[in-house]
Structure 1
Amino acid sequence: MSSLETQFRKDMKKLVLPSILQMLIGNSFSLINTLMVGSLGDIAIGVMAAAGQISFILSMILTAIFGITAFITQFYGTNDYVNVKKAFGLMLISSIVITLVVFILVSCFKAPLLSLFIKDEEAIAYGVQYLSVIVFVFLINSIKEVYGNALGSIGKIKLTLVVGIIAMIVNIVLDYILIYGKFGFPSYGIVGAAWATLASSLLSTFLLLGYVYWKRYYVNVTLKEIFSFDWPFVKKVYTTTLPLMFHEGLWAVGNMLYAVAFGHLGIVALATYQLANTFNSYFMMGIFGFAYAAKVMIGQKLSQDDPSEAIIYARKFTRIALYSALAVSAVVLLLNPYLVYLFPNLSSEVQSAFRHVVIIQALVLVMFFLNNLWIVGMFRAGGDNLYTMNLILITTWLIALPLVFAGAYLFHWPVEWVYLMFTLEEVSKACIGFFRYRSNKWARNLVRDM
Structure 2
Amino acid sequence: MLVGNSFSLINTLMVGRLGDSAIAVVAAVGQIGFVLSMILTGVYGITAFITQYHGKGDKHSLQQAFALMLLSSVTVTLVLVAVVFVFKSSILRLFINDPGAVQYGAHYLTLLLLVYLINSVKDTFASALGAIGQVKATLMIGLVSMSINAGLDYVLIYGKLGFPEYGIAGAAYATLVASVVGGTALIVYVYVRKVSFHLTFRSLTSLKFAFVKRLYRTTLPLVVHEGLWSVGNMLYAVAFGYMGVTALATFQLARTFNGYFMMGIYGFAYAANVLIGQKLSRKEPDEAIAFARKFTALTIVVSLFVSVAIAALSPYIVMLFSQTSGEVQTAFRHVMLIQAVLMLAYFLNNVWIVGMFRAGGDNVYTLKLILVTTWLIALPLVLAGAYLFHWPVEVVYVMFALEEVSKACIGYFRYRSNKWANNLTQSGSESDKAA
TM-score w.r.t. structure 2 length?
0.97
Which whole-Å CA distance do the structure 2 matches of 1:306 and 1:315 have between them?
A: 15
Note the C-alpha offset of 1:228.
2.6
Amino acid at match of 1:44: A
Which whole-Å CA distance do the structure 1 matches of 2:293 and 2:175 have between them?
A: 39
Note the C-alpha offset of 1:305.
2.2
In structure 1, the residue matched to 2:334 is 356
Aligned residue pairs, count: 428
Query: In the alignment, is residue 187 of structure 1 matched against residue 177 of structure 2?
Result: no
Deviations for 1:344-397, whole angstroms, at most 9, x for unmatched residues?
101000000000000100001000000000000000000000000000000000
In structure 2, the residue matched to 1:56 is 34
| 1:226-245 mapped onto 2 (5 Å cutoff) | 226-245=204-223
Give the alignment partner of residue 93 of structure 2, picking from 112, 115, 119.
115
Aligned residue for 2:350, secondary structure, equals helix
Which whole-Å CA distance do the structure 2 matches of 1:54 and 1:284 have between them?
A: 21
Note the C-alpha offset of 1:306.
3.4
In structure 1, the residue matched to 2:266 is 288
Query: In the alignment, is residue 392 of structure 1 matched against residue 370 of structure 2?
Result: yes
Give the alignment partner of residue 109 of structure 2, picking from 99, 121, 131.
131
Cα pair 1:147 1:219 within 8 Å, conserved: no
In structure 2, the residue matched to 1:279 is 257
Give the alignment partner of residue 280 of structure 2, picking from 302, 316, 334.
302
Q: Which moved more, 1:416-425 or 1:211-220?
A: 211-220
Cα pair 1:137 1:198 within 8 Å, conserved: yes
Which whole-Å CA distance do the structure 1 matches of 2:388 and 2:143 have between them?
A: 46
Note the C-alpha offset of 1:146.
0.7
Give the alignment partner of residue 299 of structure 2, picking from 321, 324, 340.
321
Aligned residue for 1:364, secondary structure, equals helix
RMSD: 0.8
Query: In the alignment, is residue 221 of structure 1 matched against residue 199 of structure 2?
Result: yes
In structure 2, the residue matched to 1:379 is 357
Which whole-Å CA distance do the structure 2 matches of 1:328 and 1:137 have between them?
A: 31
Deviations for 1:408-437, whole angstroms, at most 9, x for unmatched residues?
000000000000000000000000000000
Unaligned 5+ residue runs, structure 1? 1-22
Aligned residue for 1:309, secondary structure, equals helix
In structure 2, the residue matched to 1:178 is 156
Cα pair 1:247 1:392 within 8 Å, conserved: yes
Note the C-alpha offset of 1:325.
0.6
In structure 2, the residue matched to 1:148 is 126
In structure 2, the residue matched to 1:43 is 21
Deviations for 1:8-34, whole angstroms, at most 9, x for unmatched residues?
xxxxxxxxxxxxxxx111111000000
Give the alignment partner of residue 400 of structure 2, picking from 402, 412, 422.
422
Give the alignment partner of residue 47 of structure 2, picking from 69, 78, 102.
69
Which whole-Å CA distance do the structure 2 matches of 1:160 and 1:323 have between them?
A: 27
Which whole-Å CA distance do the structure 2 matches of 1:211 and 1:442 have between them?
A: 34
Cα pair 2:2 2:264 within 8 Å, conserved: no
Deviations for 1:24-63, whole angstroms, at most 9, x for unmatched residues?
1111100000000000000000000000000000001100
Which whole-Å CA distance do the structure 2 matches of 1:186 and 1:103 have between them?
A: 28
Amino acid at match of 1:260: V
Amino acid at match of 1:212: V
Aligned residue for 1:109, secondary structure, equals helix
Amino acid at match of 2:146: M
In structure 1, the residue matched to 2:247 is 269
Aligned residue for 2:423, secondary structure, equals coil
Which whole-Å CA distance do the structure 2 matches of 1:267 and 1:241 have between them?
A: 38
Query: In the alignment, is residue 79 of structure 1 matched against residue 57 of structure 2?
Result: yes
Cα pair 2:280 2:421 within 8 Å, conserved: yes
Note the C-alpha offset of 1:214.
2.4
Aligned residue for 2:371, secondary structure, equals helix
Note the C-alpha offset of 1:183.
1.2
Query: In the alignment, is residue 203 of structure 1 matched against residue 181 of structure 2?
Result: yes
Note the C-alpha offset of 1:211.
1.9
Aligned residue for 1:185, secondary structure, equals coil
Q: Percent identity?
A: 61
Cα pair 2:63 2:198 within 8 Å, conserved: no
In structure 2, the residue matched to 1:3 is none
Aligned residue for 2:199, secondary structure, equals coil
Which whole-Å CA distance do the structure 2 matches of 1:372 and 1:318 have between them?
A: 10
Which whole-Å CA distance do the structure 2 matches of 1:48 and 1:401 have between them?
A: 22
Amino acid at match of 1:443: A
Which whole-Å CA distance do the structure 1 matches of 2:119 and 2:301 have between them?
A: 34
| 1:422-441 mapped onto 2 (5 Å cutoff) | 422-441=400-419
Deviations for 1:248-270, whole angstroms, at most 9, x for unmatched residues?
00100000000000001000000
Which whole-Å CA distance do the structure 1 matches of 2:313 and 2:116 have between them?
A: 34
Amino acid at match of 1:320: L
Note the C-alpha offset of 1:239.
0.4
Amino acid at match of 1:198: L
Amino acid at match of 2:104: Y
Which whole-Å CA distance do the structure 2 matches of 1:304 and 1:209 have between them?
A: 29
Give the alignment partner of residue 324 of structure 2, picking from 323, 328, 346.
346
Cα pair 1:86 1:227 within 8 Å, conserved: no
TM-score w.r.t. structure 1 length?
0.94
Aligned residue for 2:170, secondary structure, equals helix
Unaligned 5+ residue runs, structure 2? 429-435
Which whole-Å CA distance do the structure 2 matches of 1:226 and 1:437 have between them?
A: 36
Which whole-Å CA distance do the structure 1 matches of 2:301 and 2:333 have between them?
A: 24
Which whole-Å CA distance do the structure 1 matches of 2:69 and 2:302 have between them?
A: 33
Amino acid at match of 2:92: L
In structure 1, the residue matched to 2:433 is none
In structure 2, the residue matched to 1:445 is 423
Cα pair 2:59 2:197 within 8 Å, conserved: no
Amino acid at match of 1:116: L
Amino acid at match of 1:271: A
